[in-house]
Structure 1
Amino acid sequence: MILTFVIIFGLMIGSFLNVCIYRIPREESIVYPRSRCPNCKHQLRFWENIPVLSYLFLRGQCSSCKTSISSRYIFVELLTALLFILLYNHYGWSLDFLMSIIFSCIILVITFIDIDYQIIPNQLLLIGLIPAVYQIISVGFRNSSLYFIGAVGLGLGILLISLIGNILFKKESMGMGDVKYAALIGLLLGWQNGLLAVFLAFLSSAILILILLPLGKISFGQRIPFGPFLSLGTIIALLWGPIIIRIYLNLVL
């Protein structure tokens, strides 16, 4: 019963995240007006806002002008529900679960905005401080230094890599949004899991580049958004970080 609620809740929140992804970069209100077709401005009726089902029922088209609706809308809804399931299985019904879904929502919005515009809005990072501060309070003052070290270390590390990239490629390789995002990740995960998240981000981005370069999809030196890779690494570290670190230490020690 609870799992069913988590899935439905995840789909509903995913629908709202689509609104955030579309409106925040345009500096529009995420509350008003109600959702509408970006082409003909048709205001969506209640049943046209039902996650997943409305997309399938309308066959991926606006009911008014018949303009195709991006399949990414349904993808974000399903991805949000999947993340909520994974987080619920990991944390159970707890305050930790609530804070983790807040951060996962921020991660999803950052990811798709960065893909579209190569920016990471500051207001999203500020909201991310809510679960980060909760994490620091929950671990206690004595252990909180590990999280501040993570924030400073990851932020400065990404900044240094960015400066080196600027010199090598003679153009901006990473934005300050990536630096601030990495610092937030370190503040939330601590230095160990934060370092794992950044490592996984570089690993996954390198793999994708090695795949896309020979296919001619990108050119050498072309800037690609790094935020989505940081998001992927963060989710993996959040859910399975201690297990991965333990396996690694058992292999090398």
Structure 2
Amino acid sequence: MNMVMLYIVLFLLGNLVGIYLHHLASYYHRNPKEWSAIFKCEECGQRPGWLQFLPISRMVLSASAHSCCSTKNRLKNSLLEALPGLIYVGLYLKFENSLDFLLAIVFSTLLLAGMWIDLEQRLIPNVITIAGIVIGLSSALFLRRPVFLDSVLGILICGGFLYLGGLLGGYLFHKPNAMGGGDIKYAAMIGSFLGWENGFWAVYVATVAATMYGVIVLLKHRGEKGREICFGPFLAGGAVLILLLGNAYVFF
């Protein structure tokens, strides 16, 4: 297949995945078991026209209303839905046609699913984190990507880092739930795929970025209480960054 055509196919596939992940995140809080809900409009609950579920056409239609109601499409959502396509292309450029590429696709898709649901609902469901940990451990056990001990240490170190950070934050700010359990398991999933060293750097990058963002928010909204920072997107960003820019082969 022509390389340009391959990149286009990967981008469109990722864009399609992004569309359905976005709809899944919008509907998850209403009925987590109703997977068919992702085929409905997140605003009115009706089934929109088929063009609303096709890659690229969502961007083209971003200035128009949904076909099922008067709700306007949002360009921001369309751009976010294109993010998986860009990541898939980037992963192929790094790993090419290999088993590492397939594992990276699975890993990045789980990351994006958790990120979107966290943004929409302020939670990361166990069906993503636990399944991700199992897949990561299975990959390490049977495919040695990474080696099994590295994967186990990644779970303990990445998850433990956030757990201890949550305890420290709770002590300093007198808040018992300073770090959510979903974030801890999400970090453990990252460690299961990336191993302890790459996983630690992913969590470290996420923590630094989230801290800087938190300081900016506090300075901008002085005196306001109750503001919470959604940590899942920072963890996903750190993991994808290490996956794309880390070692020549992250899975080793």
TM-score of the pair, normalised by structure 1: 0.85
Kept in 1: contact 2:22–2:116 (CA 8 A): no
Answer yes or no: is 1:82 the counterpart of 2:71. no
Using the TM superposition, name which of 212-221 and 6-15 deviates more: 212-221
What residue in structure 2 maps to residue 62 of structure 1? 66
Structure 1 Cα separation of the partners of residues 43 and 9 of structure 2: 33
Q: Deviations over 1:198-246 (max 9, x none)?
A: 1101111122123222222895784312111111111111122227xxx
Q: Deviations over 1:100-126 (max 9, x none)?
A: 112211111211221232211000113
- Stretches of structure 2 that go unaligned for 5 or more consecutive residues are none
Answer yes or no: is 1:51 the counterpart of 2:23. no
Q: How far off is 1:63 after superposition?
A: 2.3
Residue identity matched to 2:113: V
Gap change, CA 1:131 and 1:99, over 3 Å in 2: farther
Structure 2 Cα separation of the partners of residues 200 and 218 of structure 1: 28
RMSD, matched Cα: 2.5
Q: How far off is 1:56 after superposition?
A: 2.1
| Over 6 Å off, 4+ runs | none
What residue in structure 2 maps to residue 191 of structure 1? 196
Number of matched pairs: 243
What residue in structure 2 maps to residue 117 of structure 1? 121
What is the 5 A alignment of 1:12-161? 12-29=16-33, 31-32=35-36, 35-57=39-61, 59-128=63-132, 129-139=134-144, 143-161=147-165
Q: Secondary structure at the match of 1:32?
A: helix
Structure 1 Cα separation of the partners of residues 97 and 128 of structure 2: 25
Kept in 1: contact 2:107–2:193 (CA 8 A): no
What residue in structure 2 maps to residue 251 of structure 1? none
What residue in structure 1 maps to residue 214 of structure 2? 209
Structure 1 Cα separation of the partners of residues 186 and 207 of structure 2: 14
TM-score of the pair, normalised by structure 2: 0.85
Structure 1 Cα separation of the partners of residues 242 and 222 of structure 2: 29
Q: Secondary structure at the match of 2:236?
A: helix
Answer yes or no: is 1:5 the counterpart of 2:9. yes
Gap change, CA 1:7 and 1:39, over 3 Å in 2: closer
Q: Deviations over 1:102-155 (max 9, x none)?
A: 2211111211221232211000113313245224432279x4212211211221
